Structure 1
């Protein structure tokens, strides 16, 4: 008579569950901290308030583009036109403002409307005519750059009016900065407590109150510390405030709306999404409208920051946006990705650019390093997925 032994799976302890986290997300944060530590050791000015303010200002355009690109990639598509669209919309905005004396508000409305219209046209061709997004947006990339050259005569359009320039160059006052910081702290606390109460309501394990309070203290210290550092220079850059607001809006859309859940369903399994009654064509169309509208907002920020529309504006920005998404954990095969991950990815890209510029490294090294990191991020994504399947 043989004795059979059963293997009992090892359950994670309750303490492990309390500190359960997305390994990919915390790896990105660890990589970002490592980059900051490295450059701070190599150059004393890297962590200075002045340079950190410039860093958050510079990464804002990539971050705004990455927010829209997350939606496109999660839905199983790609948009190669956003960089050229940034150049075109920025050129149109500058022409209206400089050549035709349009005030700032009408220029902003016209620029955002142009982005939405372009997104509607591209999205309609992709969704309703079944032309691959790669081809449509590749064609758009060439068309938009050509239209920019043709309409501006290949000349720089400058300077902008003070009202329009403020979008990319102004900073919040100290008081407004602290108001934003306190509001962010309260929002983080409310979200954490709501999540905790929801788990209690549905009978899930809940971490001790002390652990939740520790999370709030750490989050609050980071938020208020950020505000203090920014206020020690000029204040929080307005473009970065826009990034935070857009990130919160689109995080809510992706997590808490039917549209957001349907976008993830379309990218994860298109056939199942279709059988469940999701109008895939309409959702894909809306995804491209949102992505190109955000590209128009990024164009306004970039043009205002430069105080001019240049012919090279937005060049290769689509690659930076895609890289930020992938580094931030968005899968290129669709179905997974987060807005906050893309923001961290954009910050990683911006930190590399900023640090290597401070070190006076040749520009080709920036391309090599960013390209290598992109390949590594895709490899990690594929490796992680294969391990889950095994």
Structure 2
């Protein structure tokens, strides 16, 4: 019973994602899963997924960041002014933009970690301050176009280095993309197996072996399906390569690194973490610096995709990132959450947006469904906690 309950808590988001994809695949007569549409979902939601990675760390630590949308806007504006108006070489301009994002995160992290102002207040103020700064930097007008390398990062695709191969009724597909997909599947299997063995070594509950194998096979099949569809279109989007690197790096950070364990410790029980020697202020400071860096990356991607830095860039992005984290399994009280869960939550929002657009649903219905999904995700988290508490008593 304990193993089953853990499986429901950890795997519910992935089951829900599969059901939502299946539902919209039926409602759109398969249009949702066409190669070009899958590519569009990834490219159009890449900046939200990047923000969700940083947001999940902040929520795990028991905080919130309402300013990320405005930071996306101001960093995109900084990049545009540097590259378009002042002809700064694009690598240097991107470095300066990322450093500006880090400085913004450090500014907010200082007030939260060392001055003791609640993150809600500091980042709410930041949402207003950095939106005003965006308008000031841009002169309340759009700036573009961006250099080709920046637009390629946001909208471009990897080259077919090894040529195409036949896939029977599926047609041709890029061999390089397929090999990357197979490598990713192998990495998933090895990582999950090592995690299972480690939990067994510590006498922790794990799901039955047949269920574990089924989970790996399902995840591998989903990854390979997406890769094959992308390889049939224009190969892998560069933003997907960037996202894959971020997901891998931050997953290792949260699961293997001391700093990642300290984030969970602070969110789970701050006083116990401090008594255990965790430098809570330093950890909180750096997760906000990290959020600023990721928001600047998202700002560059978003501006590059539109080929324009505009005054309204990033509006409501903070809500999408927060929703992605909570739908992906983050706990309201902190201490719980996974990077891959937040990315899955962001993809759920993206599939809902895309699927309802394909069936011609009005915008108010889209907002209605997204709100209901968010409420259901948080309600599920509260319900599982109460159920676990009742079982413990």
Paired residue for 2:27, among 42, 48, 59? Answer: 42
Match of 1:232 in 2: 232
The question of whether the paired residues in 2 share the 8 Å contact of 1:127 and 1:284 is answered with: yes
Note closer, same or farther for the CA distance 1:212–1:345 as it changes in structure 2 (3 Å cut).
closer
Note closer, same or farther for the CA distance 1:219–1:277 as it changes in structure 2 (3 Å cut).
same
Paired residue for 1:77, among 34, 54, 63? Answer: 63
Greater CA drift, 369-378 or 61-70: 369-378
Deviations 1:208-246 (A, max 9, x none): 988766655444333322211101111121112211210
Give distance in 2, aligned partners of 1:240 and 1:186. Answer: 18
Q: Aligned with 1:22: secondary structure?
A: helix
For 1:101-250, what aligned pairs fall within 5 Å after superposition?
101-173=87-159, 174-195=174-195, 197-198=197-198, 216-250=216-250
Give distance in 1, aligned partners of 2:228 and 2:365. Answer: 33
For 1:238-277, what aligned pairs fall within 5 Å after superposition?
238-277=238-277
Deviations 1:130-159 (A, max 9, x none): 011111100100011111111111111111
Aligned length: 375
Q: Aligned with 1:311: secondary structure?
A: coil
Match of 2:309 in 1: 309
**Cα shift at 1:205:** 8.8
Give distance in 2, aligned partners of 1:283 and 1:24. Answer: 27
Check if 1:369 corresponds to 2:354.
no
Structure 1: gaps of 5 or more residues:
1-11
Check if 1:24 corresponds to 2:9.
yes
Note closer, same or farther for the CA distance 1:265–1:32 as it changes in structure 2 (3 Å cut).
same
Q: TM-score, normalising length from structure 1?
A: 0.90
Note closer, same or farther for the CA distance 1:151–1:205 as it changes in structure 2 (3 Å cut).
closer
Give distance in 2, aligned partners of 1:194 and 1:384. Answer: 27
Deviations 1:268-296 (A, max 9, x none): 11111111111111010011011111111
Note closer, same or farther for the CA distance 1:195–1:276 as it changes in structure 2 (3 Å cut).
closer
Give distance in 2, aligned partners of 1:147 and 1:249. Answer: 31
Give distance in 1, aligned partners of 2:148 and 2:241. Answer: 19
The question of whether the paired residues in 2 share the 8 Å contact of 1:327 and 1:374 is answered with: yes
Note closer, same or farther for the CA distance 1:370–1:277 as it changes in structure 2 (3 Å cut).
same
Q: TM-score, normalising length from structure 2?
A: 0.89
The question of whether the paired residues in 1 share the 8 Å contact of 2:38 and 2:226 is answered with: no
Match of 1:351 in 2: 351
Note closer, same or farther for the CA distance 1:192–1:37 as it changes in structure 2 (3 Å cut).
closer
Give distance in 1, aligned partners of 2:113 and 2:205. Answer: 43
Match of 1:379 in 2: 379
Point out the structure with max Rg over C-alpha: 1
Paired residue for 2:42, among 53, 56, 59? Answer: 56
Note closer, same or farther for the CA distance 1:270–1:314 as it changes in structure 2 (3 Å cut).
same
Note closer, same or farther for the CA distance 1:182–1:374 as it changes in structure 2 (3 Å cut).
same
The question of whether the paired residues in 1 share the 8 Å contact of 2:69 and 2:315 is answered with: yes
Give the aligned CA root-mean-square deviation in angstroms.
Answer: 2.2
Match of 2:340 in 1: 340
Check if 1:87 corresponds to 2:73.
yes
For 1:290-309, what aligned pairs fall within 5 Å after superposition?
290-309=290-309
The question of whether the paired residues in 2 share the 8 Å contact of 1:172 and 1:235 is answered with: yes
Greater CA drift, 142-151 or 210-219: 210-219
**Cα shift at 1:351:** 0.6
Deviations 1:174-203 (A, max 9, x none): 344223212212312322443455467667
**Cα shift at 1:206:** 8.6
